[in-house]
Amino acid sequence: TQLLEQSPQFLSIQEGENLTVYCNSSSVFSSLQWYRQEPGEGPVLLVTVVTGGEVKKLKRLTFQFGDARKDSSLHITAAQPGDTGLYLCAGGTYSGAGSYQLTFGKGTKLSVIP
């Protein structure tokens, strides 16, 4: 069973601050996805990274996939209250039967205080 450890578990910051969320594993993943979930809703995909060392930017959000494809980070610049939510990373691997499976981390709950 592949495990994804996310840190920190909880993060409360002031509007305008920067933050980084980490997603680490001892396993290698074919791809790494980041989702954001708001209360009472299902997770929504933010980004998928597939190449070791890959960096993707989505406005104020920067995602990086580790060179060895075992870890990833999400950096938010100048956080806004609208960034509040649960951030989930999910690692993708192919099973022995050839199907693609996603393993989710436990999430980082971010609160941005105005």
Partner 1 sequence: NAGVTQTPKFQVLKTGQSMTLQCAQDMNHNSMYWYRQDPGMGLRLIYYSASEGTTDKGEVPNGYNVSRLNKREFSLRLESAAPSQTSVYFCAGRQSPNTGELFFGEGSRLTVL
Amino acid at 39: P
In the complex, the smallest distance separating the C-beta of residue 100 from partner 1, rounded to whole angstroms, is 4
Q: What is the CA radius of gyration of the chain?
A: 14
Contact residues for partner 1 (CB under 8 A)? 1, 31, 33, 35, 40-45, 48, 88, 90, 92, 94, 98-102, 104-107
In the complex, the smallest distance separating the C-beta of residue 42 from partner 1, rounded to whole angstroms, is 3
In the complex, the smallest distance separating the C-beta of residue 44 from partner 1, rounded to whole angstroms, is 7
User: Cβ closer to partner 1: 22 or 104?
Assistant: 104
User: Cβ closer to partner 1: 45 or 58?
Assistant: 45
User: Cβ closer to partner 1: 14 or 72?
Assistant: 72
In the complex, the smallest distance separating the C-beta of residue 78 from partner 1, rounded to whole angstroms, is 27
**Contacts of 59 by beta carbon, 8 Å cutoff, 6+ apart:** none
User: Cβ closer to partner 1: 7 or 77?
Assistant: 7
